Structure 1
Amino acid sequence: MIKRLLSFLFPLKIHERKSVYSKNLEVTWNNGYLVLDSENTNYSFGSLQRVLKKGLKYIGYERIQNFKSILVLGVAGGSVIETLKREIKFEGQITGVEIDPIVIELANNYFGLGNYNNVTIVIDDAFAFVLKTKEKYDLIIIDIFQDTTMPNFLFEDFFINRINFLLNVNGFILFNTMTLDYNDRRRNALYKSKFNSNYSVRLYPKIEVHNELFTIKKLQ
């Protein structure tokens, strides 16, 4: 409690770990909240949670409550899963895919990720997972970063087409992207152009300084 109160004055780092995928990971009390950060950006329970929460509100909480299955690519500390379970009261199945086992260890130890019902966490590469899974999903959340870098495969046709195949009709993709410069904005514009009239695509710029969100609904 003392650390939490002091964190309103200045951040208090309570744990630090090295990771092959994320380099340096820190668990910190910041403004009364426990957050997970990489070296240069927030991974969970800070600005990132605000970004994804806005995206979920764009889709609609009541609509999400009626979904049966959700896929989360990029779990990190599990803040979007917390929002789905505690705020939205989603009771269907959530499958979370995270490549970094150190991140999941921190998520379980500090953020209670292992305490939720109907949540399955898979340690795997997101690209490999979507190739293997035979499930279909009503909502696919893509939130994959290595510090401030986004893997190129997220924007390539093969991955996009596979994600579209895994999405049920009337389901949604929520894609969080980072736009640091002109090339990133151009990349996002090209990504948007890859969806035909079977999809309704909306782009929400400047959600948190450098974040742009896509919501993509599969119409047929």
Structure 2
Amino acid sequence: MIKRLLSYLLPIKIHQKKSVYSKNLEVTWNNGYLVLDSENTNYSFGSLQRVLKKGLKYIGYERIQNFESILVLGVAGGSVIETLKKEVKFEGKITGVEIDAAVVELATKYFGLGKHDNVSIVIDDAFEFVLKTKEKYDLIIIDIFQDTTMPNFLFEDFFINRINFLLNVNGFILFNTMVLDYQDRRRNAIYKSKFDNNYSVRLYPKIEVHNELFTIKKLA
């Protein structure tokens, strides 16, 4: 409790470790909240949670409540799962995929990742998982970063087509991207152009300065 109160004055680091995929992972009290950060960006329960919460609001909490299954690619500390369970009041099935076992370990220890019913966490590469899964989903959340870098496969046709195949009609993709320069803006413009009239695509720029969100609805 003392550390939490002091964190309103300055951040207080309580755990730090390295992993195969992250140079540095830190659990920190910041303004009264526990957050998970990588070396250069927030991974969970800080600005990232605010970004994805806005995306869920764009889709609509009531609409999401009526979904049956959600896929989260990139779990990190589990903040979007927390939002789905506590704020959206989603009671359907959530499958979370996270490549970094060290992140899942921290999320379980410090952020209660394992406390929710109807949530399963898979330690796997997102690309490999979407190739293997036989499930279909009403909402697919893509939030995959290695620090400030986004893997190239997220923007490649094969992955995009596979995600579209896994999405139910009237379902949504919520895709969080980071835009730091002109090349990133161009990359996002090209990504947007890859969806035909069977999809309704909206882009929300400058969420928390460097984030751009896509919401993509499958119409047919």
TM-score, normalised with respect to structure 1: 1.00
CA distance in 1, matches of 2:183, 2:208: 18
1:93 aligns with 2:85: no
Which residue identity is paired with 2:87? E
| Alignment partner, residue 54 of structure 1 | 54
2:156 — aligned with what?
156
Per the alignment, residue 67 of structure 1 pairs with 67
Find the aligned partners of 2:80 and 2:216 in 1 and give their Cα distance: 18
- Residues of 1 paired with 2:125 and 2:55: CA distance? 24
SS for the counterpart of 2:173 is strand
Q: How many residues are matched?
A: 220
**Unaligned ranges ≥5, structure 2:** none
Match of 2:24 in 1: 24
Deviations 1:184-213 (A, max 9, x none): 000000000000000000000001100000
Distance 2:68 2:55 in 1: 19
The Cα of 1:141 is off from its aligned counterpart by 0.0
Instruction: Work out the percentage of aligned pairs sharing the same amino acid.
Output: 89
Pair 1:214-2:214 in alignment:
yes
Question: Hey, what does 1:81 align to over in structure 2?
Answer: 81
Tell me if 1:130 matches 2:130: yes
Counterpart AA for 1:194: K
Stretches of structure 1 lacking an aligned partner (at least 5 in a row): none
Match for residue 177 of structure 2?
Answer: 177
In the TM superposition, residue 23 of structure 1 has moved relative to its aligned partner by 1.4
- CA deviation map 1:7-58 (0-9, x unaligned): 0000000000111101100000000000000000000000000000000000
2:15 alignment partner in structure 1? 15
Aligned to 1:205, the other structure's residue is in SS state strand
- Which residue does 2:43 correspond to in 1? 43
Question: AA paired with 2:213?
Answer: L
Which sits farther off after the overlay, 189-198 or 17-26? 17-26
The CA distance in 2 between the partners of 1:28 and 1:208, in whole Å, is 20
SS at match of 2:18: strand
Amino acid in structure 2 at the alignment position of 1:163? I
Structure 2: distance between partners of 1:93 and 1:160: 23
> Quick one: distance in 2 between partners of 1:139 and 1:65?
11
User: Aligned Cα RMSD in Å?
Assistant: 0.3
Provide TM-score, normalisation by structure 2: 1.00
